[in-house]
Structure 1
């Protein structure tokens, strides 16, 4: 069987597809992953041993025009514009020709797309190839996105000779998700079948040893893992994001804790300002090495970091900035696994951290959510379901 995966270049979108693609490849199926020739995406696929089928990205001036407008707008209006004119607009139109060529030459039995890659949604239907989706967002945000991009997707459909369908193909697509039922907030899409829930795959939790790692500060204070690594590609562009780092450092610096801050590869250390004595800064430390020590995790609520943290039963403080992060923050708090702070105020963030560190109910909520995630279908059952869809 031949399976074509399709994704935008961002690592947070590529990564959720990798376990599916790798497992199918290991079972002897022929797998390719279509995405643009971005250095980070290509490196991630190479590391996973997955074949890459390149498609084009938008011209720099087109992308700059979209990002300029996103910067000028605010809140949901900015994100809606970015999805409509960026992901479902210039990016999808640029990807379409080579993606259609790949489908013609590779002749996949199935196309698997992630939530922000829209060219394959249309190209697969035009080629009469069945398709499924892997959700990189929680259900509230998936529903919201579908409503924002209906017109843009209908334009794509017209480009390849399909009739507009007012979003039906996207809403009715069979979807695989690693978000738990307790994260399902807001009304469901009327014509969407139930999602197939797949337990997040996490590395085995290390056992804390008597020999502490270099990044672990000495002492017996509560240990916070503060991670903004999911902001790597944005941090260098946005003063708002750089300021968020500084506010978080101010909040953590005021508390009787010790903390590790990971910044990702882009954020210059000098942009952080004064680093408190109780904070250690690193570009990256594998999360599995940190979690045995962590009393809580402070993050902005990117799906990958949030799900892997909650899968380990660790409570969270979520300080969202944009995209799906506010929806994730609301869901985590509603599930009782942490607190959300929507105002970027150091005192309010510090108060939330104190509450999460001392609340037995929140810690119990995080552990309950970890059990819920662990009870979902294992990856091998998801793969069997995918194979059965092709058979049907």
Structure 2
């Protein structure tokens, strides 16, 4: 979205922090690290300790409504508010574009009395996500002279309607971003046998990660090629079957189209990338939104939702051989491709700032 604004001739600045700044640095945009000392884990852990029951339910993926996520991201917004507001005071924006949980942006917009646009990068209701976050930010907002954080002026919806149904907002095509680095040449084209890319979350989790170990065990002896991206220690410390290989970071948009299947943790970004590339997915239900994401994918018929410890050879074989999964995945890819590109919505959004 930011690139589309820039390419249309507008002045853009991206405000983020720490790990986010490192990730966005490859975009060629003006990226400002407004919270260099903030670490998400250090912000979240005290809130988890204060709300152990809610946190336990969230870790099991048992929450169907996004409540505790608001507690966590309000704490993060409070830590980032000073930097975001200082940048806004310097920059004097005409429009603020943010993710639903990035509520510091809404505080900056309220202080400067400019519109807010939410880019919904989740499968949940974006306005609800923002509301459950700002509900915990009243004191922080008042410290920065913001009496009220208003609702967004516009919402951009990236989730395909066939998965989430009707939502309030304007559809916009999800465009996968590869980031830094290039893919091995052989992974950008189909191989001699079905290839499965296995990825895991970039968010650190102290609990054992069984996903890759389960896939390796299930794929042993099958006529498939398994590629483990950023393998965890359980896998990387032991010998692997001949049909399994490991890589470090992979640009998923470059390698997913040549794969026959993808297995991953259920994060919205990876899930949407797989859908945009038209590849069947096996998603492991997990904490936060990941259980809902897996269930929506399975209900659409474009993939499977299987707990990590239950992944079997039959599941792996079905992922790459079931024509129904492949057909549904292609249908969703066509649905995404038919949505307006980010460049197509720029004019309408800039009109909000006039």
TM superposition score category, shorter chain reference: 0.7 to 0.9
Contact 1:110/1:129 (8 A) holds in 2: yes
- Offset of 1:152 from its aligned partner? 0.8
Q: What does residue 195 of structure 2 align with?
A: 223
Contact 1:66/1:82 (8 A) holds in 2: no
Contact 2:115/2:153 (8 A) holds in 1: no
In structure 2, C-alpha distance between the alignment counterparts of 1:250 and 1:99, rounded to whole Å: 47
In structure 1, C-alpha distance between the alignment counterparts of 2:210 and 2:28, rounded to whole Å: 38
In structure 1, C-alpha distance between the alignment counterparts of 2:82 and 2:317, rounded to whole Å: 53
**Alpha carbons of 1:181 and 1:215: their partners in 2 closer, same or farther (altered >3 Å)?**
closer
The reply to whether residue 48 of structure 1 matches residue 27 of structure 2 is yes
**Alpha carbons of 1:78 and 1:68: their partners in 2 closer, same or farther (altered >3 Å)?**
farther
Map Cα deviations across residues 96-145 of structure 1 (whole Å, 9 max, x no partner).
223222222211001111122111212311321211111121135x4663
The reply to whether residue 74 of structure 1 matches residue 56 of structure 2 is yes
Map Cα deviations across residues 207-239 of structure 1 (whole Å, 9 max, x no partner).
xxxx97289997x432211122xx2341xx423
Q: What does residue 156 of structure 2 align with?
A: 176
Give unmatched runs, 5+ long, in structure 1: 1-19, 189-193, 205-210
Normalised by the size of structure 1, how large is the TM-score? 0.75
Question: Which of 120, 140, 147 is the aligned partner of 1:135?
Answer: 120
Give unmatched runs, 5+ long, in structure 2: 179-183
Provide the aligned length of Structure 1 versus Structure 2. Answer: 342
**Alpha carbons of 1:261 and 1:174: their partners in 2 closer, same or farther (altered >3 Å)?**
same
Q: What does residue 145 of structure 1 align with?
A: 129
1:236-275 aligned within 5 A: 237-240=205-208, 242-253=209-220, 255-263=222-230, 267-268=232-233, 273-275=238-240
Query: In angstroms, what is the RMSD of aligned CA positions?
Result: 3.3
The reply to whether residue 95 of structure 1 matches residue 80 of structure 2 is yes
The reply to whether residue 357 of structure 1 matches residue 320 of structure 2 is yes
Question: Which of 264, 280, 294 is the aligned partner of 1:299?
Answer: 264
Q: What does residue 30 of structure 1 align with?
A: 11
The reply to whether residue 337 of structure 1 matches residue 337 of structure 2 is no
Structure scoring higher RCO (CA < 8 A, sep ≥ 6) equals 2
In structure 2, C-alpha distance between the alignment counterparts of 1:252 and 1:67, rounded to whole Å: 36
**Alpha carbons of 1:364 and 1:217: their partners in 2 closer, same or farther (altered >3 Å)?**
closer
In structure 2, C-alpha distance between the alignment counterparts of 1:104 and 1:69, rounded to whole Å: 34
**Alpha carbons of 1:146 and 1:350: their partners in 2 closer, same or farther (altered >3 Å)?**
farther
In structure 2, C-alpha distance between the alignment counterparts of 1:108 and 1:119, rounded to whole Å: 14
In structure 1, C-alpha distance between the alignment counterparts of 2:237 and 2:100, rounded to whole Å: 33
Map Cα deviations across residues 25-62 of structure 1 (whole Å, 9 max, x no partner).
233221111112x1x43334332222233323558865
Map Cα deviations across residues 282-326 of structure 1 (whole Å, 9 max, x no partner).
112333443353111111222222212211221111113222222
**Alpha carbons of 1:364 and 1:104: their partners in 2 closer, same or farther (altered >3 Å)?**
same
Contact 1:215/1:260 (8 A) holds in 2: no
Q: What does residue 175 of structure 2 align with?
A: 201
Q: Secondary structure at the match of 1:134?
A: strand
